[in-house]
Amino acid sequence: MTRRALITGITGQDGSYLAEHLLEQGYEVWGLVRGQANPHVSRLRKHIGDVRITTGDLLDQGSLISAVERVEPDEVYNLGAISYVPMSWQQAELTAEVTGMGVLRMLEAIRVVSGVSASRTPGREQIRFYQASSSEMFGMVRETPQNERTPFHPRSPYGVAKSYGHYITQNYRESYGMFAVSGILFNHESPRRGAEFVTRKVSLGAARIKLGLAGELRLGNLEARRDWGYAGDYARAMRLMLAQDAPEDYVIGTGQTRSVRELVAFAFRSAGLDWEDHVVLDARYTRPAEVDLLCADPKRAREQLGWEPEVSFEGLVTMMVESDLRMLAGSARPEDEPSGPDHW
């Protein structure tokens, strides 16, 4: 029978790639959006026409229960969050409510609709739940590379909220026997990434300068190192986690790190430019508490899920720069580009 999936945050980068992947696998895909007039839905429908929409809000428990009752999903993917790390300092309370407590509300919605309690465990065909955890939970890292057993030390309200979501997912798995897992995903990017994220800021900046639309690009810390991969690859890993016989958490990443400086240099080189002629350091873009190094150890995902990234760092950056050059040359936004980090 056709499996049915409900995705929160479907209008964001990850949600759109996951929806595409699940449709290719024969799923019936539903997206949870806030309000009937959500401006991102029409853009999503133009790009992924077979997605069905239901309303709900990660701030509203009742709306989530109603959505789960209506859709009757086999799988729920909770990707909705305030996902832009710098914004989490400006809106710390809202980040905690959406990115942290929103996970609890969705788990409760699944538990209530399924009739699960401490004395009644889920049946064999229970709803399976995926939580989008983040490498930002590691923060001030205790060891490198980071794996499923590495302790958390988050360095932002976003990382703290994601840590809560991760642990409450684990708690519901252990307390109620629910099939609930977390994917600890390292940085994953694409041409659909919002323009405020550093990778997209760099690819757009290089494209604008190449086309004569700008003369400089202002950035903060160029020495921070990240494990960057392609978002479409990571969507495959999400589905694989829910396809296992037993619920377990997995680290997903490439196992290779690059500095922001290397990202900038390669992006500008892809556009035929020398970055040192155009990039200006600006202290306004430095985080209050920086995360200096994140690097995944994806051994467990490789061995147990059979997952491997297919797009290289160089291929990813080239893809993003070329996409932005086409988009800017055509003087139009790409239909599949999320307009910001607000995708809950």
Active site residues: 163
Q: Is the CB of residue 14 less than 8 Å from the CB of residue 192?
A: no
> Which conformational region is residue 212 in: left (phi greater than 0), alpha (psi within -120 to 50 degrees), or beta?
left
- Rounded CA-CA distance 152/167 in Å is 11
Please compute, for residue 248, the number of CA atoms within 13 A of its CA located in the half-sphere on the CB side: 14
Residue 145, preceding peptide bond in cis (omega within 30° of 0): yes
CA-to-CA distance for 154 and 271, rounded, in angstroms? 35
CA distance 329 to 323: 10
The alpha carbon dihedral of 134, 82, 187, 109 has a sign of: positive
Q: Read off the tokens for 116.
A: 């699960």
